[in-house]
Structure 1
Amino acid sequence: MKAITYKEKKEELEKIFRGYHQAQMKLQYLKEKSYYPSIQMDTIRERKSYYQDKGTQWIDSLYSKEELEKAIQSYEFILSCLSEESRRIIEKDFLYKDKKDWWVLYYSRSTYYRLKTRAMEEILYYFNCLERS
Protein backbone atom coordinates (compact mmCIF):
# COMPACT_ATOMS: atom_id res chain seq x y z
CA MET A 1 0.00 0.00 0.00
CA LYS A 2 1.42 3.34 -1.07
CA ALA A 3 1.55 6.19 1.45
CA ILE A 4 -0.24 9.34 0.35
CA THR A 5 1.78 12.53 -0.08
CA TYR A 6 1.44 15.79 1.81
CA LYS A 7 -0.28 17.37 -1.20
CA GLU A 8 -2.80 14.52 -1.46
CA LYS A 9 -3.60 14.78 2.26
CA LYS A 10 -4.14 18.52 1.91
CA GLU A 11 -6.40 18.08 -1.14
CA GLU A 12 -8.44 15.40 0.65
CA LEU A 13 -8.97 17.64 3.69
CA GLU A 14 -9.95 20.58 1.49
CA LYS A 15 -12.54 18.34 -0.17
CA ILE A 16 -13.80 17.12 3.22
CA PHE A 17 -14.22 20.63 4.61
CA ARG A 18 -15.82 21.83 1.38
CA GLY A 19 -18.46 19.16 2.06
CA TYR A 20 -18.78 20.41 5.64
CA HIS A 21 -19.39 23.99 4.47
CA GLN A 22 -21.90 22.80 1.87
CA ALA A 23 -23.77 20.80 4.52
CA GLN A 24 -23.93 23.87 6.75
CA MET A 25 -25.27 26.03 3.91
CA LYS A 26 -27.90 23.45 2.91
CA LEU A 27 -29.00 23.07 6.53
CA GLN A 28 -29.29 26.84 6.90
CA TYR A 29 -31.41 26.94 3.74
CA LEU A 30 -33.71 24.19 5.03
CA LYS A 31 -34.09 25.95 8.39
CA GLU A 32 -35.12 29.17 6.69
CA LYS A 33 -37.41 27.45 4.21
CA SER A 34 -41.09 27.26 5.05
CA TYR A 35 -42.17 23.66 5.53
CA TYR A 36 -45.87 24.36 5.35
CA PRO A 37 -47.61 24.61 2.00
CA SER A 38 -48.78 28.10 1.22
CA ILE A 39 -52.36 28.80 0.26
CA GLN A 40 -52.70 30.01 -3.28
CA MET A 41 -55.79 32.16 -3.68
CA ASP A 42 -55.66 32.13 -7.46
CA THR A 43 -56.01 28.35 -7.69
CA ILE A 44 -59.29 27.63 -9.41
CA ARG A 45 -59.36 23.91 -9.02
CA GLU A 46 -57.58 21.82 -6.45
CA ARG A 47 -55.63 18.86 -7.65
CA LYS A 48 -55.10 15.90 -5.39
CA SER A 49 -51.57 15.42 -6.72
CA TYR A 50 -50.63 19.00 -5.72
CA TYR A 51 -50.96 18.18 -2.02
CA GLN A 52 -49.36 14.77 -2.42
CA ASP A 53 -46.36 16.42 -4.08
CA LYS A 54 -46.08 18.98 -1.27
CA GLY A 55 -46.27 16.26 1.36
CA THR A 56 -43.54 14.25 -0.33
CA GLN A 57 -41.35 17.36 -0.63
CA TRP A 58 -41.87 18.16 3.03
CA ILE A 59 -40.94 14.64 4.17
CA ASP A 60 -37.89 14.60 1.88
CA SER A 61 -36.69 17.91 3.30
CA LEU A 62 -37.12 16.62 6.86
CA TYR A 63 -35.01 13.54 6.10
CA SER A 64 -32.46 15.70 4.38
CA LYS A 65 -32.36 18.06 7.37
CA GLU A 66 -31.77 15.17 9.78
CA GLU A 67 -29.00 13.76 7.59
CA LEU A 68 -27.29 17.14 7.32
CA GLU A 69 -27.46 17.64 11.09
CA LYS A 70 -25.90 14.20 11.65
CA ALA A 71 -23.12 14.95 9.16
CA ILE A 72 -22.32 18.30 10.78
CA GLN A 73 -22.31 16.68 14.23
CA SER A 74 -19.85 14.07 12.94
CA TYR A 75 -17.48 16.78 11.69
CA GLU A 76 -17.71 18.65 14.99
CA PHE A 77 -17.20 15.46 17.00
CA ILE A 78 -14.05 14.62 15.06
CA LEU A 79 -12.74 18.15 15.59
CA SER A 80 -13.35 17.80 19.32
CA CYS A 81 -11.31 14.56 19.36
CA LEU A 82 -8.19 16.28 18.04
CA SER A 83 -5.36 17.49 20.23
CA GLU A 84 -5.34 21.23 20.94
CA GLU A 85 -2.53 22.02 18.48
CA SER A 86 -3.99 19.82 15.76
CA ARG A 87 -7.41 21.43 16.17
CA ARG A 88 -5.89 24.93 15.94
CA ILE A 89 -4.05 24.06 12.73
CA ILE A 90 -7.03 22.30 11.11
CA GLU A 91 -9.43 25.10 12.03
CA LYS A 92 -7.18 27.90 10.83
CA ASP A 93 -5.95 26.19 7.66
CA PHE A 94 -9.02 24.25 6.50
CA LEU A 95 -12.14 25.20 8.44
CA TYR A 96 -11.95 28.99 8.70
CA LYS A 97 -9.15 29.58 6.15
CA ASP A 98 -7.38 32.30 8.14
CA LYS A 99 -4.65 34.35 6.52
CA LYS A 100 -1.76 32.30 5.16
CA ASP A 101 0.91 33.29 7.69
CA TRP A 102 -1.17 32.98 10.87
CA TRP A 103 1.25 30.39 12.23
CA VAL A 104 4.25 32.76 12.38
CA LEU A 105 3.18 33.95 15.85
CA TYR A 106 3.06 30.38 17.17
CA TYR A 107 5.68 28.22 15.43
CA SER A 108 8.84 28.17 13.39
CA ARG A 109 8.41 27.08 9.76
CA SER A 110 9.70 23.54 10.31
CA THR A 111 7.64 23.05 13.48
CA TYR A 112 4.52 24.32 11.74
CA TYR A 113 4.85 21.93 8.80
CA ARG A 114 5.69 19.00 11.09
CA LEU A 115 2.62 19.74 13.27
CA LYS A 116 0.43 20.38 10.23
CA THR A 117 1.38 17.01 8.74
CA ARG A 118 0.65 15.33 12.06
CA ALA A 119 -2.71 17.17 12.34
CA MET A 120 -3.71 16.17 8.81
CA GLU A 121 -2.82 12.53 9.50
CA GLU A 122 -4.73 12.61 12.79
CA ILE A 123 -7.95 13.99 11.35
CA LEU A 124 -7.79 11.76 8.27
CA TYR A 125 -7.39 8.79 10.63
CA TYR A 126 -10.60 9.80 12.46
CA PHE A 127 -12.52 10.30 9.21
CA ASN A 128 -11.29 6.91 8.01
CA CYS A 129 -12.50 5.29 11.25
CA LEU A 130 -15.87 7.02 10.87
CA GLU A 131 -16.28 5.70 7.31
CA ARG A 132 -15.56 2.14 8.42
CA SER A 133 -18.16 2.15 11.18
Structure 2
Amino acid sequence: MGETVGETVGETPSDALSRLRALCLALPEATEKLSHGEPTWFVRKVFVTYAGRHHDDRVAFWCAVPPGVQEALMGSDPERFFRPPYVGGRGWLGVYLDVPEIDWDEIAELVAEAYRTVAPKRLVAQLDAARAGRPS
Protein backbone atom coordinates (compact mmCIF):
# COMPACT_ATOMS: atom_id res chain seq x y z
CA MET A 1 0.00 0.00 0.00
CA GLY A 2 1.55 3.29 -1.08
CA GLU A 3 1.52 6.61 0.67
CA THR A 4 -0.76 9.36 -0.59
CA VAL A 5 -0.34 13.06 -0.10
CA GLY A 6 -1.20 13.99 3.46
CA GLU A 7 -1.39 10.41 4.75
CA THR A 8 1.24 8.38 6.54
CA VAL A 9 1.05 4.69 7.36
CA GLY A 10 2.84 3.31 10.42
CA GLU A 11 4.25 6.59 11.71
CA THR A 12 6.24 6.36 14.95
CA PRO A 13 5.35 8.59 17.92
CA SER A 14 8.67 10.40 17.44
CA ASP A 15 7.91 11.07 13.76
CA ALA A 16 4.41 12.28 14.62
CA LEU A 17 5.76 14.60 17.32
CA SER A 18 8.34 16.03 14.90
CA ARG A 19 5.69 16.73 12.27
CA LEU A 20 3.31 18.24 14.82
CA ARG A 21 6.12 20.42 16.19
CA ALA A 22 6.97 21.70 12.70
CA LEU A 23 3.33 22.63 12.03
CA CYS A 24 3.00 24.49 15.33
CA LEU A 25 6.30 26.36 15.17
CA ALA A 26 5.63 27.52 11.60
CA LEU A 27 2.92 29.84 12.96
CA PRO A 28 3.70 33.49 13.80
CA GLU A 29 5.29 33.94 17.26
CA ALA A 30 4.50 30.37 18.33
CA THR A 31 6.78 28.97 21.01
CA GLU A 32 7.27 25.56 22.57
CA LYS A 33 7.65 24.80 26.27
CA LEU A 34 7.21 21.72 28.40
CA SER A 35 3.95 21.82 30.30
CA HIS A 36 2.90 18.96 32.57
CA GLY A 37 5.81 16.97 31.12
CA GLU A 38 4.68 17.24 27.50
CA PRO A 39 5.68 19.50 24.58
CA THR A 40 3.16 22.33 24.42
CA TRP A 41 2.82 25.18 21.93
CA PHE A 42 1.88 28.70 22.93
CA VAL A 43 0.94 31.94 21.25
CA ARG A 44 0.50 33.94 24.46
CA LYS A 45 -1.78 31.05 25.58
CA VAL A 46 -1.69 27.31 24.85
CA PHE A 47 -3.11 26.28 21.50
CA VAL A 48 -1.79 22.69 21.15
CA THR A 49 -0.38 20.17 23.61
CA TYR A 50 1.13 16.79 22.81
CA ALA A 51 -0.18 13.79 24.76
CA GLY A 52 2.42 11.06 24.44
CA ARG A 53 0.86 8.27 26.49
CA HIS A 54 0.89 10.43 29.62
CA HIS A 55 -2.84 10.03 30.27
CA ASP A 56 -3.50 6.67 28.61
CA ASP A 57 -1.81 4.26 26.24
CA ARG A 58 -2.57 6.37 23.16
CA VAL A 59 -0.45 8.99 21.38
CA ALA A 60 -2.42 12.12 20.61
CA PHE A 61 -2.55 15.88 20.80
CA TRP A 62 -5.11 18.24 22.27
CA CYS A 63 -6.04 21.51 20.60
CA ALA A 64 -8.28 24.51 21.04
CA VAL A 65 -11.20 24.56 18.61
CA PRO A 66 -14.13 26.91 18.03
CA PRO A 67 -17.48 26.04 19.61
CA GLY A 68 -19.19 23.04 18.02
CA VAL A 69 -16.11 21.60 16.32
CA GLN A 70 -15.32 19.11 19.10
CA GLU A 71 -18.78 17.53 18.97
CA ALA A 72 -18.90 17.48 15.16
CA LEU A 73 -15.53 15.76 14.74
CA MET A 74 -16.03 13.32 17.62
CA GLY A 75 -19.39 12.39 16.11
CA SER A 76 -17.97 11.97 12.62
CA ASP A 77 -14.96 9.80 13.57
CA PRO A 78 -14.69 8.64 17.22
CA GLU A 79 -11.73 6.41 16.31
CA ARG A 80 -9.63 9.52 15.62
CA PHE A 81 -11.18 12.29 17.73
CA PHE A 82 -12.00 12.42 21.45
CA ARG A 83 -12.78 14.70 24.37
CA PRO A 84 -9.46 15.12 26.22
CA PRO A 85 -9.26 15.16 30.01
CA TYR A 86 -9.07 18.50 31.83
CA VAL A 87 -9.68 20.74 28.78
CA GLY A 88 -12.34 18.74 26.96
CA GLY A 89 -15.08 20.36 29.03
CA ARG A 90 -13.95 23.73 27.64
CA GLY A 91 -14.44 22.47 24.09
CA TRP A 92 -10.89 21.35 23.28
CA LEU A 93 -10.46 18.45 20.85
CA GLY A 94 -8.26 15.37 21.21
CA VAL A 95 -6.74 13.91 18.04
CA TYR A 96 -5.16 10.46 18.04
CA LEU A 97 -1.79 10.19 16.30
CA ASP A 98 -1.48 6.41 16.63
CA VAL A 99 -4.04 5.58 13.96
CA PRO A 100 -3.02 3.60 10.85
CA GLU A 101 -3.26 6.59 8.49
CA ILE A 102 -2.71 10.17 9.61
CA ASP A 103 -4.06 12.86 7.32
CA TRP A 104 -1.41 15.55 7.84
CA ASP A 105 -3.30 18.06 5.71
CA GLU A 106 -6.22 17.76 8.14
CA ILE A 107 -3.85 17.96 11.12
CA ALA A 108 -2.33 21.16 9.65
CA GLU A 109 -5.83 22.65 9.36
CA LEU A 110 -6.66 21.72 12.97
CA VAL A 111 -3.39 23.24 14.23
CA ALA A 112 -4.01 26.45 12.29
CA GLU A 113 -7.58 26.60 13.62
CA ALA A 114 -6.33 26.06 17.17
CA TYR A 115 -3.90 28.93 16.67
CA ARG A 116 -6.66 31.18 15.32
CA THR A 117 -8.83 30.29 18.33
CA VAL A 118 -6.36 31.66 20.89
CA ALA A 119 -3.97 34.01 19.06
CA PRO A 120 -4.30 37.79 19.19
CA LYS A 121 -6.16 39.26 16.20
CA ARG A 122 -2.98 40.92 14.93
CA LEU A 123 -1.24 37.53 14.62
CA VAL A 124 -4.27 35.87 13.04
CA ALA A 125 -4.32 38.66 10.44
CA GLN A 126 -0.59 38.12 9.85
CA LEU A 127 -1.14 34.39 9.37
CA ASP A 128 -4.06 34.92 6.99
CA ALA A 129 -2.11 37.50 4.96
CA ALA A 130 0.88 35.17 4.66
CA ARG A 131 -1.34 32.28 3.52
CA ALA A 132 -3.05 34.50 0.97
CA GLY A 133 0.35 35.68 -0.33
CA ARG A 134 -0.19 39.27 0.79
CA PRO A 135 2.31 41.35 2.75
CA SER A 136 1.30 41.64 6.42
- Normalised-by-shorter TM-score class: under 0.3
Considering Cα pairs closer than 8 Å and 6+ residues apart, tell me whether 1 or 2 has the greater RCO: 1
Higher strand share: 2
Q: TM-score scaled by structure 2?
A: 0.23
User: Could you say which structure has the larger radius of gyration?
Assistant: 1
